[in-house]
Chains A and B, each alone.
Chain A
Amino acid sequence: DTAVSQTPKYLVTQMGNDKSIKCEQNLGHDTMYWYKQDSKKFLKIMFSYNNKELIINETVPNRFSPKSPDKAHLNLHINSLELGDSAVYFCASSRAGYEQYFGPGTRLTVT
């Protein structure tokens, strides 16, 4: 009965590779988000989707491409991974005007 789930939980890969993180929510929310938490624990929004439509793109490099096949799923694909991409990536979902529920996070390590 997990509300927001992400896979994988850990991802270790080499520079230059392409990887994807998947997110699913079973809360019936219309809006989903990707946040990045850096090594200093600072959280910043990357993308927001509302009903499968991209709403927010916060100056994220083009190597990051979100995809929402339906309003319950929001995936993040990252091309040509760089060392600086190492971080924890959180998926979240919400109804408009209400709190956001976060997934467990995906710890990405680029070597």
Chain B
Amino acid sequence: AQKITQTQPGMFVQEKEAVTLDCTYDTSDPSYGLFWYKQPSSGEMIFLIYQGSYDQQNATEGRYSLNFQKARKSANLVISASQLGDSAMYFCAMRELSSQGGSEKLVFGKGTKLTVNP
């Protein structure tokens, strides 16, 4: 079963509008972390925002905010005032402990391709 599900293969948004990228996760661990990464067409992976499972407030970083609904196991990324440079692939990821040595690893969703139209 997928641990991270991103149901939107592609999304379109008009410049200056807000957009929400969906992410649901599956874990039985009480302690976990959720991340969003951006991958522009140039290929690098850029860390955007982090939400810890015990954090009381939703994370925000500039125009990025994370709509964390723990009971629903969702961690949606909200981008406000979209810009053309926001066009990219967006990956939701969950940090989980590996059964090997207790080290952490990231488990990624399949990504959402966001296109911002002028």
Contact = CB atoms under 8 A, between A and B. Distances in A.
> A and B from one assembly?
yes
A29 to B, nearest CB: 12
Interface stretch (A16-24, A63-71, A72-80, A96-104): A96-104
B28 interface: no
A55 B46 CA distance: 24
Given A50-B103, A104-B44, A55 B98 contact: yes
Interface in A2-59: 31, 33, 35, 40-45, 48, 50, 55-58
A26 to B, nearest CB: 16
A101 B111 CA distance: 18
Nearest to A50: B103
Interface residues on A, range: 20 to 34
Given A41-B110, A42-B110, A45-B106, A105 B43 contact: yes
Contact of A90 (B45, B98, B101, B107): B45
A61 B99 CA distance: 19
A40 B103 contact: no
A101 B100 CA distance: 21
A43 B108 contact: yes
A97 B103 CA distance: 10
Interface in B71-118: 89, 91, 93, 98, 100-108, 110-111
B103 A55 contact: yes
Nearest to B105: A45
